[in-house]
Amino acid sequence: MTTDKKVLLLIGSPKGENSTSASLGNYLISKLEEFGMKTEKAFIHRLVYREEKIQNLFRMIDNADLIILTFPLYVDSLPAPVIKAMELIKEEKDKLKSQKSQNFIAICNSGFPEPSQSTVALQICRIFSKDCGFVWKGGVALGGGAAINGTPLQEKGGMVRNVIKGLDIIAHALKEGKDIPQAAIDLFSKKFIPSAIYKTFGNLGWKLQARRYGAKKKLKDKPYSL
């Protein structure tokens, strides 16, 4: 892939710029910009509910040589606005002006410590890419993404060093039009917080939220059990 190619970053988190999805995507496109690529960024939840915004989404898709989708895992799948965007793009794809080859990758992050939880979501992305005629260049999954929580990766220090190394490798591969290498997948998905510590703080977070909303004594309720 030559350096005059256009890159579109689609951020699928409703949290927008203050999301882990944005942190991961922003770092990757910053590396691609260093290679001279032109980048554009958009937040999916702002583009799928009004006709003029939907047309803007189609324009950006049409102009892109490389599409990067970053999103959080929602119930083993993708957030509703991302699914809606996929449906809209699939319906419109045959009508778009562009007949050029367009590459597509997906970056999924989840609150679970195990990256394997994102396998189904990435398979959905692969099938979507194929159905739309994009060239699937691969997907990567990050567990424990809540620990990043929208902070720029450069500010997280050594904790995310493998995430950064993985994204650096991905950037170099995309520059050359290549698939995401297995080495990048392995580095990116390495746990950067021990599972026991992550679960401890995760449980503490739930309890603090429950206390805030007066639901501390309801955490073990089973309203739908027989």
Query: Average pLDDT of 144-173?
Result: 92
**Cβ atoms within 10 Å of 38's Cβ, excluding its own:** 16
| pLDDT (tens digit per residue) in 80-100 | 999 999 999 999 987 765 568
| pLDDT (tens digit per residue) in 60-69 | 999 999 999 9
Is the CB of residue 72 less than 8 Å from the CB of residue 12? Answer: yes
| pLDDT (tens digit per residue) in 28-55 | 999 999 999 999 999 999 999 999 999 9
